[in-house]
Amino acid sequence: MRRNIRRSIDMALTGLGIGIIFTAILLSATLTIQMQLPITLFGVLLMEAGVWGLSSKVFPSERRYIDLRAEGDNIIRLIRKLNSAAVARDSGAADDAPFQEALEEMHSSVKRMAEFASLESGSSAASSSPE
């Protein structure tokens, strides 16, 4: 829902900016260039704010599973590390140890992801895991 609100605000800002620019152009007969330029600049700034999605900075995302998201980002980093180690191993530049190390880190990361699944931010994994 909030994503739709941010998207709507971005579209409205872009449309409003374009409208202000067109208004400055249409009123060129009655406005001086000293008035047209600031109005047009304001319209361009509004349009850029919408295009660049600046409403997401004003209305930040309310993620609930922050730890799981962070571990997901970590697994992507580990995928890159695993690939680099595999390329180095296959080209003969390194032995199998970095590859195996990256693989073990990935296994640990997947286990942490299982612990973080369904835990909202601020919860602790130790208090919710059955023993």
**How many separate domains does the chain show?**
2
- Domain membership of residue 32 (yes or no) is yes
CA-CA-CA-CA dihedral for 63, 67, 70, 75, to nearest 10: -130
Angle at 18 between CA 12 and CA 20, to 5 degrees: 100
pLDDT digits (tens, 9 = 90+) for 45-95: 999 988 887 777 776 666 678 888 889 999 999 999 999 999 999 998 888
Same domain, 117 and 77: yes
Q: Give whole-number Cα distances, 43 to 24, 30, 83, in Å.
A: 9, 18, 47
Angstrom distance (rounded) from CA 17 to CA 24: 11
Q: Kindly report, residue by residue over 17-45, the tens digit of the pLDDT.
A: 999 999 999 998 898 989 999 999 999 99
Q: Of 11, 39, 58, which residue is a domain's last? A: 58
Domain of residue 53: give its range: 2-58
User: pTM of the prediction?
Assistant: 0.48
